[in-house]
Amino acid sequence: MSIFGHEWLVFPLFGLSVFVAVYMWADKIFTLMYAKSVSKRSQVMLHMKLLGLEVNEKKVTRVLLLSSFGVGFLFFFIAYPSVTMGIFLGLSAGIAGFQLVPIIYKSLYEKKCSQFTDQMVDALTIMANGIKSGSNPQQSMQRVVEIMANPIKAEFAQVIAQTQFGDSFEDALTDLGERIPRPDVQMFVTSINILKETGGNMAETFTTIVSTIRERQKLEKKISAMTAQGVTQGVIVTSIPFILGAVFFAVDPAYMKPMFTTTLGLVLLGAMLGLQILGGVMIKKIVTIKV
């Protein structure tokens, strides 16, 4: 007779196997989890600092824990009393929630950088006119701060504040290029630093940079229009399996139950998620064209 027919043997063997697995791999697993959590927390804090937000390490840690373990436990209790489905949904939601917070702050930072680049056309035009009228770059930049809105107002104001506290104008501009790591900003910073050392027509240089930025923006918008259909198709194709699964589960839970309660169902579910992630990443790489 198989030992699986005796519960008094199955449970001790299962407990022993769990103990051995934890004893052998616990240190590596916890070390990896700690490294990942520290890395994600550092990313969030960096983006918060670059966004000009108040950075509090304890609050960031609480938000990450709430978005991962909190959301995971919530989905587990929603799926209860189905323990298998609860574990699957809890783990999936916890991993997704842990990744979501850094993605949100990174998206906000990328949006800020894009807005800054879009504002550079008007800002450099103002600076070029100021230099033509006899002002120096700092005075022209102060004029931009007085006229324009954030984010370029806040970033140029920080450059001016750094010079007032003793930093050189070149160092303050270099810090600006590090905070907004875009090619147009790097071109602007490099041109000012070079022209201040070697001399030259700075107003004409700003006009050339404005023309370059405008052409780059035209090309980016053209590429965005051409790839919009591919982006939409990728979102639809990626979301269809989840939507259909939710509909089937709402209409006939018994029909979907084997997917979460049988070994074959769990294997197919894991394979489906893996292929969905792989397909989404490939579509994103195909439709993402850097200018």
pLDDT digits (tens, 9 = 90+) for 7-63: 555 556 656 666 666 666 656 655 665 566 667 778 888 888 888 777 777 888 888
126-162 as b/e, with b when 16 or more CB fall inside 10 Å?
Answer: bbbebbeeeeebeebbbbbbeeeeebbbebbbbbbeb
* Distinct helix (H) and strand (E) counts, the chain: 11, 0
Average pLDDT in the 111-135 region?
Answer: 86
- Identify the pLDDT of residue 1: 44
pTM equals 0.70
- Identify the pLDDT of residue 227: 77
- Identify the pLDDT of residue 243: 85
Average pLDDT in the 95-118 region?
Answer: 86
- Identify the pLDDT of residue 32: 60
- Identify the pLDDT of residue 31: 64
pLDDT class of 3 with cuts at 50, 70, 90: very low
Instruction: Select the more confidently predicted residue: 154 or 98.
Output: 154
Q: Cβ contacts of residue 51 below 8 Å, gap of 6+?
A: 105, 108, 109, 112
